[in-house]
Amino acid sequence: MLSNPQSKIPVINEQSIAVCCFSRNNGYAISTPTQEQYDGDGIAGHGPGYGITTIRVDGNDALAVYNATKASREYAVTESRPVLVEAMTYRYILSL
């Protein structure tokens, strides 16, 4: 697990490494809702700023996640470029 994944993104892009970065966004940063942590709706908006191809997918749809992951791997391997996949989901809160 990377302690600060954003600090690694420029290095990954500059080296033209074929890698797929997968981020599961459940709307929380540890215990704080992301609306209170930072502006924006997720990490996918950061990818293009670093020149990285980015895919945002419905993280609750297993088939969509599979297809996005498959497409990102294919792109990364054929182009020798990094890809960022962000799966948008939500936090399940169980009440007992």
**Is the CB of residue 71 less than 8 Å from the CB of residue 55?**
yes
Confidence bin at 91 (pLDDT 50/70/90): confident
pLDDT in tens, 24-68: 888 776 767 666 666 667 788 888 888 889 999 999 999 999 999
In the prediction, which pLDDT does 2 show? 46
**Mean pLDDT across 2-23:** 68
**Is the CB of residue 22 less than 8 Å from the CB of residue 85?**
yes
**CA torsion through residues 76, 74, 48, 39, sign:** negative
Indicate the DSSP class of residue 44.
G
